[in-house]
Amino acid sequence: VVPAICLSPAARSLFDEPLAIAVQGLSPRQQVTLRASLRDETGELFQACARYQAGHDGDLDLARCPALPGGSFSGLEPMGLLWALQPQKPFWWLVKRDVQSPFLLRLEVFEGHGEPPGRLLAQAQHERAFLRDGVRRVPVREGRIRATLFLPPGEGTFPGIIDIYGYTGGLFEHRASLLANHGFATLALAYFKYEDLPQDPTKLHLEYFEEAVNYMLQHPQVKGPGVGLLGYSKGAELSLTMAAYLKNITAVASLNGPVANTVIPLCYKDKTIPFLPIYEQQAKVTDSNIFDYSDILDDPFQTPGNQSLIPLEKAEAQLLFIVGQDDHVVKSEYHATKVCKHLQAQGKKNFQFLSYPGAGHCIDPPFFPLYPVGKHPVLHKWAVLGGKLGAHSTAQVHAWSQIQAFFNKYLNG
């Protein structure tokens, strides 16, 4: 019998879907090393490997067999080979720019537990896609808006979500495309450093984001009367600000966002909202000369009447705060806890709070690899973003299901 890798689904799955991995045709109790590889769009290689022992029957099912110590992970982790993928180039980040093409995942089975591994016994390829068949990708250039709209298959109307990314600039479509697979009309919205938007803005205007809300509400395939917002980092802060100042926002999911205006002044009509100061001298330096910027942002709760604090008591939307307890960019757990106490004191009940131990700043959809060190979005130096391998992945899987349940409940009524 020749060993073979069995995958389910066999040839192609969505990136946020589990993939069942098994190996058949091994010798009884045979020791093998499994390796997963994936190249990103720039050609950089991500890899993970794990050591296993086949069963008495020569079969190895990752859903039933724990990985042995010595690889990228150990224990019963059916998706470990995907979430433990690590860049061969240090501090590299797995980004999907073109969601219309899949990532190609390569799986290999080697003999033994040696370093380097022994003879190649079996290999397989699998596509990890971002768009389900029938999902439409529509570039949007309406008025000032620069965005991409993803529409689920079918003619009906769909609950609408605007997805706003962090202070990286450009347009990120991976999360919006995956949400559209789950039945949401999702607008990935750029707000600087993209096409003819400002490269390096000195202020942001809330009217731009209001225009995006109005675009969604007038779209024939978006089910009103309001929209949902999914924001990450600076995008979460912008989403919360929108909920405080704009109409027709029904539900906001905030991923590791501050609850005060940061980085840059924000203008709306004749009002300018100042930003929280950054005290770069409060940075710490780790042993490997990487900055830890956990403590550089001013505390908006320390000065009463702080003008930067978002007046969330004005928000009528349902609010879902998702925070990583190991976030080293924003004290997101502290921010969310304080604001929920404040809302509670005002007699409000429109908020939920999910806090994840071991989760870092960069909470992405499931099975994106941990990104624990990266360029700081504002100071552009190598910085600790946080997160522990394993715990961060568990958080991403759980948070993703909670985000969908939250939007289904409040946008589908």
The catalytic residue positions are 233, 327, 361
Return the SS3 of 411. helix
Q: Residue 292: count other Cβ atoms within 10 Å of its Cβ.
A: 17
Whole-number Å distance between alpha carbons of 203 and 187: 23
List of E strands, 206-362: 222-232, 249-255, 266-268, 271-273, 284-285, 291-292, 318-324, 351-356
- The letter for the amino acid at 229 is L
The verdict on whether omega for the bond into residue 116 sits within 30 degrees of 0, i.e. cis, is yes
Whole-number Å distance between alpha carbons of 410 and 403: 11
List of E strands, 318-394: 318-324, 351-356, 373-375, 382-384
Q: Residue 220: count other Cβ atoms within 10 Å of its Cβ.
A: 6
Q: How many helices (H) and strands (E) does the chain have?
A: 6, 24
